Structure 1
Amino acid sequence: MRGSRREPTPAETDEPQLASFTALLEDSAEDLYEHAPCGYLSTLMDGEIAKVNGTLLGWLGYTRDQVVGRMRFSDLLTVGGRLYHETHFAPLLRMQGKLDGVALELRTADGERLPVLVTSLVKTDSEGRPLLIRTTLFDARDRRAYERELLRARKEAEEARRKAEREREHLQEVLAILQSSLLPPSLPAIPGLEARAYYRTASPDDLGGDFYDLFPAGDDRWGFFLGDVCGKGPEAAAVTSLTRYTLRAAVLGDPDPVAALTTLNTALLERYEGAEPRFCTVVTGMFTRTGEASYSVDLASGGHPYPMLLGADGRAGYLDTQGGPLVGVLPDPGFTATTTTLEPGDTFLLYTDGLTEAPMGRGVRYGEERLLEFAERLAPATPGEVIDSVAGLLDGFGERLDDDTALLAVGVPGGTARRLTAIPDKFRESGPFPGKAPI
């Protein structure tokens, strides 16, 4: 229709924008060189600077007249950079024709250091003769700062690791001293008896709760005990200390092992009344000399694994201590005493549950049956042989051990191994080992 206006097409609308964008891209090669985001430098083969862009001059603080035809590339480097350039950079560049990403430091006009990454290329003529060297330099200050920060963080981490290691070693030394204070420094020499003990901690970073002792009680009698306090750490160590000294005093005051356990049970209940209960398993008793080469053993157990006898006859079995509850739980525990004898060649073994509860993988524990089989293959054996063999057994579990283990073996030297047709009365006849102690 006459007089109506035609709407512009999309192409016609975009033409001004396209023209502006095209104008932005119409930089000259000289402008791209002069204001590039990196430094450009061209030198003759002897290093004399023939051309340099404004970016590099701005970094360095020089004018073009101060640099072109008056300085060599090496003059821009620090003393260390100049030495590296002369001994490594320049010779390699002549041989290879190109070097990429070499870290160097430039010296600016005001004496500051400027870290850069340098890439140089030798330009040659048609016959391969070198004409000049073209060099590109990238500002590496941010990268160098990042590297320094990484090095600082790594150094701090290493120092922290060493400090933690020193603290851990010191802690282990302190714990070892504290642990040794909870155990007798050595076992006494007993006429007519041989005794050996062993203690293995599952972790050097914590205090264990296992304990044992063997001590004179007068009139050819020797008191003993071995046990395990629930838990680990300082609190368990405090219970262990209380248990050891209470038991020792109780055994010295009354040879009846039931009386000793009852005294300990009362002490634990009174000490932790109104607080979180602290309890332990323990077996205690008395060796009494009955002849030139024989001892009677009176003992009682509070929730502890059954003692083991390895006989001179080559047999082994568990001694039924009639169970007994955990010590420190019930006000009227009702402990029961048991008696056996040791003849020449017999060995009496006490142990904590770190042995029978040793993990074998896939949720399987070593257990009483395997320990009995191990003892049957070992018997007859002296206390020293028993301790060495069981210690070797524990070593075989390696880092899988998750609980401490204490061992105490006492035996009468001598005797001749003799296989009997019947199990001696000192061994239970109703199975490989008695049922578990009631809790």
Structure 2
Amino acid sequence: MCRTDQSVPEPNEEQDVDATDAVFTSLLEDSVEELYEHAPCGYLSTLMDGTIAKINTTLLDWLGLERAQVVGRMRFADLLTVGGKLYHETHFAPLLQMKGEVSGIALDIRAVGRQRMPVLVTSKVKTSQDGEPMLIRTTVFDARDRRAYEAELLRGRKAAEEARRQSEADRIRLQEALAVLQQSLLPAELPAIPGLEARSHYHTASPDLLGGDFYDLFPLDDRRWAFFLGDVCGKGPQAASVTSLARYTLRAAALHDADPITVLTTLNTVLHERYASGEARYCTAVFGVLQLADGHVDVHLASGGHPPALIQRADGSADYLPTPGGLLIGILPRAPFAAARARLLPGDTLLLYTDGLTEARTGRDRELYGEDGLHAFTATQPPAGPQALITALSGLLTDFGDGLDDDTALLALGIPSTLPTPASEDLP
């Protein structure tokens, strides 16, 4: 067996540690320098007058310049576009001098091929231990993606604003068209009747929806006038088609036979036959005849499921004209209707209305206004005729605000109060 006397040296732990530290220090120095030169953003240091003393490779690559062209030969402002230089001199540099630091300022540099490159710049003044400014360290961030995003966002905002304006214009045009169509379903104005005053009002709950309320007043002969007021179930074009059919049917039926129950029966037949095969369409309505006489007007009316008419008397009292039992018009092939009669004297006013008025919601608890509320309101109004009553009620409808969610039609008919006889002149 062979044996050697050559000894193996003992490891020196201190030497190994020193060697390892040296390696890590070298690597760290290389890493720091590498990070500075090839960072994802630009770095540069300038003297206080703006002369560039140090610049990293990233920023040089953006600029398309060599280090020798820049260091000691150019100022930071020379890297900027004309607009950027102006902003730097008037805002950036004075603000940096006052505060010692500025952050996130948007500028444009002259990139490769003299292309404009948007950047965000942050600068900070380095001072000595005595507080004296020594140099300016600046970080330059590539803002091309951000500018593109902002431009896209701006285009999106402009497109959204244009769409909003177009939508608003379309909505206004639609409202105008609906208003014209709504007016075509109502008389342009009520006729003048000797010895009788007539006033009407239509309150639209929403200008974006076509309502189904309707009314009319027209002559039958020299002494008789027909009137009606109704409310079609639903809104929109379908309701408008029913409204149109109901108006012309009532006028035509009245000219053939003006008996109120007969007229409503004819309307019921027409609506039921027209819509029996599809979606049911129906309405409520009051139809009546005014018979003019010396000093009074006789009223004969019938109702099909409609709220009762209200009479405001010349003495200030108010009473409903009950028409119980009248069925909705168009539901059944044959329907019962309730008739009533009344006499109007000078100062009396007959009021017809749709249920948008009595079904309005009021107060904090949004209680139903109801027929009792209408009766109490009418009783507090001075008996000054149809015009005064319609004016008061139109103000009431406005006061309901968002508590009024249905269109409301009003029709008031009355005999003016007898005018006082002028005092005779004194005899000489």
TM-score relative to the length of structure 2:
0.89
Counterpart residue number, 1:324: 326
TM alignment of 1:42-191, pairs within 5 A: 42-191=45-194
Structure 2 counterparts to residues 18-417 of structure 1, below 5 A? 26-28=28-30, 29-291=32-294, 293-360=295-362, 362=365, 364-414=367-417
Unaligned runs of 5+ in 2: 1-19, 420-428
Show CA shifts across 1:251-307 (max 9, x none): 12222111110111111112113111110000011111121x211011000000000
Return closer, same or farther for 1:305/1:23 CA change in 2, 3 Å cut-off: farther
What do you get for the CA RMSD once the two structures are aligned?
2.1
Query: Aligned AA for 2:416?
Result: P
- Would you say the 8 A contact 1:283–1:302 is kept in 2? yes
- Contact 1:285-1:299 at 8 Å conserved across structures: yes
Question: By how many angstroms is 1:192 displaced?
Answer: 0.7
Distance across 2 between alignment mates of 1:43 and 1:214: 91
Deviations 1:376-430 (A, max 9, x none): 11252311111111111111111221100000001111059xxxxxxxxxxxxxx
Q: Counterparts of 1:113 and 1:87 in 2: how far apart (Å)?
A: 20
Cα deviations by residue, 1:115-145 (Å, 9 ceiling, x for unpaired)? 1111112223344333322111111122222
User: Given that residues 231 and 283 in structure 2 are in contact (C-alpha distance below 8 angstroms), is that contact kept between their aligned partners in structure 1?
Assistant: yes
Mark the runs of 5 or more structure 1 residues left unpaired by the alignment. Answer: 1-17, 417-439
User: Relative to structure 2, which stretch is displaced further, 161-170 or 84-93?
Assistant: 84-93
Give the total of aligned pairs: 398
Q: TM-score, normalised by structure 1?
A: 0.87
The percentage of aligned residue pairs carrying the same residue is 63
* CA distance in 1: counterparts of 2:365 and 2:327, whole angstroms: 30
CA contact (8 A) 1:312 1:415 kept: no
After superposition, the Cα gap between the structure-2 partners of 1:156 and 1:22, relative to the gap in structure 1 and judged at 3 Å, is farther
Q: Distance in 2 between matches of 1:152 and 1:123?
A: 41
Task: Give 2:136's aligned amino acid.
Answer: I
Question: Whole-Å Cα distance in 1 between the matches of residues 117 and 134 of structure 2?
Answer: 28
Aligned to 1:12: none
Q: Identify the residue that residue 15 of structure 1 maps to in structure 2.
A: none
Q: Which moved more, 1:110-119 or 1:281-290?
A: 110-119
- Alignment-mate amino acid for residue 42 of structure 2: G
In the aligned structure 1, how far is the partner of 2:233 from the partner of 2:213? 9
Question: 3-state DSSP class of the match of 2:290?
Answer: strand
Runs of 4+, deviation exceeding 6 Å: 21-25
Q: After superposing the two structures, state which structure 1 stretch, 396-405 or 279-288, moved more.
A: 396-405
